[in-house]
Amino acid sequence: MTPKERTKREFSLVVNGEPKTVRAHPMERLLDVLRENLGLTGTKEGCGEGECGACAVLMDGALVDSCLIPILQAQGSNIVTIEKLSGDAQLCALQEAFLECGGAQCGICTPGMILAAQYLLSRKPRPTMEDIREGLSGNLCRCTGYTQIFEAVAQAARRGASA
């Protein structure tokens, strides 16, 4: 074992409903642990500064930017990523709405955006356009100008998409 390996520790967390144990340095970013240790590449890095929201996941039910969380602080927590939202065959209502309304263009912001929308709808099942605008204001999209993303979220809400 190299000296670097020796200073790694084990961290246990629940990811998408499954218990996981990873060996990592405590300051390893949750984003990198998800993508590299656990192979869950649906969560993306867009900026590394907590500005773009592409790395957003749910941690103990709260929307967070995983690029800003050291894995030590995720010890024992419950993480939900984009991979959890759809079963193998069935898309969730948000995902369907994004497809119908054109909410995804290049797709890189989409996982974070859907997580943010999921979080919003779980707390405000009947959001106004202002609620949607505010709820997604921490997720940057360069392709869509947000219009069709908001339409998708509104449509999912109308179809009773909460939680």
Residue whose tokens read 């998708």: 152
Residues between 93 and 112 with contacts to another protein, criterion CB under 8 A? 95, 98-111
13 lines the binding site for another protein (CB under 8 A) = no
Separation of alpha carbons 117 and 124, rounded Å: 10
Instruction: Please list every residue from 40 through 79 that binds another protein, using CB under 8 A.
Output: 40-54, 56, 62-65, 67-70, 72-73, 75
Q: Minimal distance in Å, beta carbon 19 to another protein?
A: 20
CA atoms of 105 and 107, how far apart (whole Å):
5
Contact 65, 46 (CB under 8 A): no
Cα separation, 51 vs 54, in Å, equals 9
Least separation in angstroms between residue 6's CB and another protein is: 10
Closest CB 95 distance from another protein, rounded Å: 4
